[in-house]
Amino acid sequence: MSALDIQSLSRSFGGVSALSNVSFTVEPGERRLIIGPNGAGKTTLFNLLSGIFAPSAGRLSLFDQDVTALAMHERARLGLARTFQITQLFPRLSVLDNVLLALQTGHRGAWSPLRSMRSQHALYERAQQLLAQWQLDPIAGQQARAISYGEQRQVDLMLAMANTPRVLLLDEPMAGLSAAEVVRVSGMIRSLPRSTTILLIEHDMDVAFDLADQITVLHQGRKIAEGDGPAIRADAQVNEIYLGVD
């Protein structure tokens, strides 16, 4: 069983082909890096995987279940989570309240007033525990808009992990971070449990290659290479179109 089975996925916008006939398989527990120049189709791939856009053609399975026709929230319920290039926090709410909201959204089961009261307490405990675990408790009481950009990205990542997803899509989680924050966030990603399969779009090659088991290279919407770090570094076409110009 694969975590993700992507089969001939294509998407065009108007006349522009953003993704063409891309196929690959990601094994459970794998950390898959997606690289490619700007406009290569990386974010489009994530939008198709998470269900923001429907593919023009192709099929997608999550743990052997065909999810091609499923809506975003249905894929989320099956354990697919993602972060965005732009932070999704509610700016005027505290970090703690953002965490509580995210946990509540992931909370399953029918609503009942008694269960609700008990679960409020459990949610609060869980939120505190998460913040402590990620060493973000010092900023728990601050408004999301008041914390630094790097801290926002860390909270984003923590929230994406809060409901222990089976598959996590990370779209440039380290873009715009200081060198110290890159070290911290890459450490956070490295420390995630292998029970979560990770797909990562990242520009910082040194950091990204270090995190990845396998790498898929996109260029102009097509998959042009796939393999482990040494294989990709040695790939002539990749060097020519991508690594060489970086």
Ligand X SMILES: Nc1ncnc2c1ncn2[C@@H]1O[C@H](COP(=O)(O)OP(=O)(O)O)[C@@H](O)[C@H]1O
Q: Which residues bind ligand X (CB under 6 A)?
A: 13, 16, 18, 36, 38-44
Strands (E), the chain: 4-13, 16-26, 31-35, 57-62, 65-66, 80-82, 167-171, 197-201, 214-219, 222-227
Q: Report CA torsion sign: 137, 211, 46, 238.
A: positive
Q: Judged by CB under 5 A, which stretch of 36-44, 147-155, 210-218, 222-230 contacts Mg ion?
A: 36-44
Question: Is 43 a residue that touches Mg ion (CB under 5 A)?
Answer: yes
CB of 43 to ligand X, least distance (A): 3
18 binds, among ligand X, Mg ion, none (CB under 5 to 8 A by kind): ligand X
Cβ closest to Mg ion, residue 90 vs residue 149: 149
Cβ closest to ligand X, residue 18 vs residue 155: 18
Cβ closest to Mg ion, residue 43 vs residue 214: 43
Question: Is 44 a residue that touches Mg ion (CB under 5 A)?
Answer: no
Instruction: Name the packing angle between helices 179-190 and 149-162 (round to 10°).
Output: 10
CB of 226 to ligand X, least distance (A): 16
Q: Give how many residues touch Mg ion by CB under 5 A.
A: 2
Residue nearest to ligand X (CB): 18
CB of 126 to ligand X, least distance (A): 33
Q: Evaluate whether 166 touches 198 at the Cβ level (below 8 Å).
A: no
Cβ closest to ligand X, residue 44 vs residue 214: 44
At residue 78, the 3 state secondary structure works out as coil
Question: Residue-wise over 186-224: b if at least 16 C-beta within 10 A, else e?
Answer: bebbeebeeebbbbbbbebbebbbebbebbbbbbebbbb
CB of 195 to Mg ion, least distance (A): 27
Contacts with Mg ion by CB under 5 A lie at 42-43
